Amino acid sequence: MDSIGKRITDLLSQMGYTQKELAKMAGVTEATMSRIICENRTPKMEVIANLATALNTTTDYLILGTEPKEDFSEIHRLVARSAKTMTDKEKMELIRVLTK
């Protein structure tokens, strides 16, 4: 069974981020990120939420390994969580894509 550390590592690889970049996005130190990935530290829920946003997935996937559902409510949650960090240009691009 995959662990949260393995899922984060797999998503890091898919997204092309380094641990240092992900740590910054999650609001933790690089050392803390390493400990989370190696499973020497359990992340707080806020960190898990930040990781899910940065890795374009859900907290359910990170914690349980449950594949993200492609329904509107899940998409809405991801967008809502990410909107405060998006630039105006990114928001306009998102609106353009969603209204196609």
Q: pLDDT (tens digit, 9 = 90+) per residue, 26-69? A: 999 999 999 999 999 999 999 999 999 999 888 889 999 887 55
Residue 62 has what pLDDT?
Answer: 92
CATH topology of domain 4-64: 434 Repressor (Amino-terminal Domain) (1.10.260)
What residue spans define the domains of the chain?
A: 4-64, 69-100
Q: pLDDT (tens digit, 9 = 90+) per residue, 63-78? A: 998 875 566 666 677 7
Residue 2 has what pLDDT?
Answer: 85
CB-CB contact of 12 with 19 (8 Å): yes
- Which residue, 74, 73, 72, 38, is CA-closest to 56? 74
CB-CB contact of 47 with 27 (8 Å): yes
Burial (0-12, 13-18, 19+ Cβ within 10 Å), 51 = buried
CB-CB contact of 54 with 12 (8 Å): no
100 vs 34, more confident: 34
